[in-house]
Homo-oligomer: A and B are copies of this chain.
Amino acid sequence: MNTSIIAVGTELLFGQTVNTNAAYLSENLNHLGFNVMYHFVVGDNDGRLEHTLKRALTDTDLVIVTGGLGPTQDDMTKETVARVMDAPLYLNEECLAEVKRYFSIRNREMAPNNVQQAYIPENAVIFRNEAGTAPAFAVNKGDKWVICYPGPPRELKWIFEDSGKDFLRKFKEKQIYYRVIRTIGIGESDLETLLMPLIDNQTDPTIATYAKEGECTIRVASQRDTMEEAQAAVENMISRMNNLIGSYIYSYDDEELKSVVVHKLQRQGLTISSAESCTGGAFAASITDVPGASKVLSRGYITYDEEAKISMLGVDPTVIDQYTVVSSEVAIEMAKGARLEAGSDIAVSITGYAGPEADEGREAGNAYIGYAYDDTVGAVELFTKRNDRAWNRNYFRLMMLKVVNEILDEIK
């Protein structure tokens, strides 16, 4: 089904807000087998919204509108959609009860203009919204459908997950099943080369790769008559992929690497500590991003200068003199020191040059990750060839997570 997405909001045309809703909906619509052909953005102006909506309905069969469903004067999505779809607004008592309930459970007074939220186009399918006061709805005129969602991404996502996805599935005769696999440590083109025997001449399941900042994601999707068949086709393909690229895969469920690592540490009952130089705390911050991190990380060391490495981690100054501060030897000393000081099961460290400029004659983008666990110590050299501080630091952080993830697989 050909689809377009219209985002309504002057803040988007001012560039104050990035249209992440269009990306979120597009990704999900594609996963569900819908063909997204256009994105449109219009301001809070009913003439231009009507103009755009009519055009979208001419070119595509399903139009998803986000934004402009609030209770204030400049929100006119509902009125415009009602007019274009010949479905006049009426006061829906159930919606009104929901809006009242929203305020009452939060002990907040309902402003009179919130009654406005409960007006819905005639014959619309209504979607619950427990994340806000604006109900979402779908309305049709013959074969053409318009679905309206509120603009705040949190509300859109809540509704889409709760009922929006299931509603869209009804439009599809075939059943779609997909899984998203995440890999690290291999570039997109190398990954495609390895997967070529599976991609060539393959029509279903489909395999799509997508690269971003040191990671690569693979979506495996099947479209069959029943969900069971689609699921079996995807699982079979994944086990074949496993033989080819298993060593690069860190999640079969689109889980972020930091969550994978924290959850493995929790399951294995292990603790970790960190000693960071060029990442300046970013590794520990991403471990503690994950709820429940206090069970696995009790402390971390940010040792930005040499003196800190010596006094906080007990790095031997002669090792620094002999190998320089950015070396695998110093990285290992840092990890050993952190593990000893923190009394953790595993310790990971980093020392390197983030850039943007070369430092002490060394190129930016070069770093060493050290690790220590059981009787094992070691180091990994990184070299990014990039002169981009933010990119390098993020890459270093991801590679620290990768090293820890591999250690956890090793010792489980």
Contact = CB atoms under 8 A, between A and B. Distances in A.
Contacts of A355: 291
> How many copies of this kind of chain does the complex include?
2
Interface in A242-293: 274, 276, 278-285, 287-289, 291, 293
Given A19-B23, A30-B15, A37-B48, A302 B304 contact: no
Which 3 pairs from chain A and chain B are nearest by CB? Answer: A280-B288, A281-B281, A15-B27
Contact of A16 (B12, B210, B289, B342): B210
B289 A302 contact: no
Interface stretch (A161-169, A305-313, A398-406): A305-313
A187 interface: no
A357 B292 CA distance: 10
A137 interface: no
**A interface, how many residues as a size bin?**
35 or more
A211 to B, nearest CB: 9
Given A41-B39, A276-B281, A284-B302, A291 B389 contact: yes
Interface string A1-25: 0000001000011111111101111
A135 interface: no
A26 B312 CA distance: 49
A55 to B, nearest CB: 7
B302 A281 contact: yes
Interface in A77-134: none
